[in-house]
Amino acid sequence: MTSSTSAGVRQQEYEILFDAFDTDHDGQIGQLDIDVLVQRWCVALHVAPGTPAWNQITKRANRLWQDLIGHVDAAGDKQVAKQEWVDSHDQPGFIENAAIPWAVGVFDVGDPNSEGRVSLQAWMTCQTVTGWGQAESLEMFLQLDDDRDGYVQRDRFAAYIEQFYHSAADDDRWWSQQQ
């Protein structure tokens, strides 16, 4: 791939992520979008309000939003536009301090008991509620379930996220080849 093609693939990946988090499809990600996602995940995973798992998910999502808005909100309007989101990935520290912790935090939503892993059922539930297709979600799960035990381990997912953001070899970006 050429440099411009590589940049185009990455921009498309970032735009797809943005679209998944923009729950009201208004072209902005705001606190309410994150709240909607968290509540969808909790309902889908049968995590009742006020339980320790609900508290953990809600606190983690709120913290992730605060970290995200601190790195991305160029206009200072407490909203993140798609281009702000895409451009933010080039800002020093954004990937390490906001994007990667955000992604791992989202993974942790599917692990409300802090077991360090997510089952196929929880994975598919979270992915579907977030707006990903079932076929692509299953394929990604199978790519990440190295030992075929029916779980994706947190450390394996974290390594995948590192690869997603830092991979120089676009030919190895299997997640984009599924689109």
Distance separating alpha carbons of residues 26 and 33, to the nearest angstrom = 10
**Stretch 131-148: mean pLDDT, rounded?**
93
Which of 38, 15, 39, 37 has its CA nearest to residue 27? 15
Structure-model confidence comparison of residues 174 and 142, the more confident one: 142
pLDDT at 177 over 70: no
pLDDT at 26 over 90: yes
Show me where the domains of the chain are located: 3-168
- Beta-carbon contacts of residue 83 (< 8 Å; ≥ 6 apart): none
pLDDT of residue 152: 98
Contact between 110 and 125 under an 8 Å Cβ cutoff? The reply is yes
Q: What is the pLDDT of residues 101-135, one digit of tens each?
A: 888 888 888 887 889 999 999 999 989 988 889 99
28-29 and 80-81 beta bridge pairing: antiparallel
168 — pLDDT class (breaks 50, 70, 90): low
Q: What is the pLDDT of residues 55-87, one digit of tens each?
A: 877 887 787 788 777 777 777 888 989 998 888
Contact between 78 and 69 under an 8 Å Cβ cutoff? The reply is yes
E strand or H helix that includes residue 48:
none
DSSP letter at 47? -
Q: What is the pLDDT of residues 32-60, one digit of tens each?
A: 998 998 899 889 988 889 988 888 778 87
pLDDT at 1 over 60: no
pLDDT of residue 169: 57
Q: Where are the beta strands (DSSP E) in the chain?
A: 28-29, 80-81, 117-119, 151-153
pLDDT at 175 over 80: no
Is residue 129 classed as helix, strand or coil in its secondary structure? helix
179 — pLDDT class (breaks 50, 70, 90): very low
pLDDT of residue 29: 92
Structure-model confidence comparison of residues 35 and 95, the more confident one: 35
Based on C-alpha coordinates, what's the Rg of the chain?
Answer: 16
Distance separating alpha carbons of residues 34 and 38, to the nearest angstrom = 6
- Beta-carbon contacts of residue 12 (< 8 Å; ≥ 6 apart): 176, 179
Distance separating alpha carbons of residues 49 and 53, to the nearest angstrom = 9
**Stretch 148-176: mean pLDDT, rounded?**
79
pLDDT at 174 over 50: no
Which DSSP string corresponds to 141-174?
HHHH-TT-SSEEEHHHHHHHHHHHHH---GGG-H
Domain topology for 3-168: Recoverin; domain 1 (1.10.238)
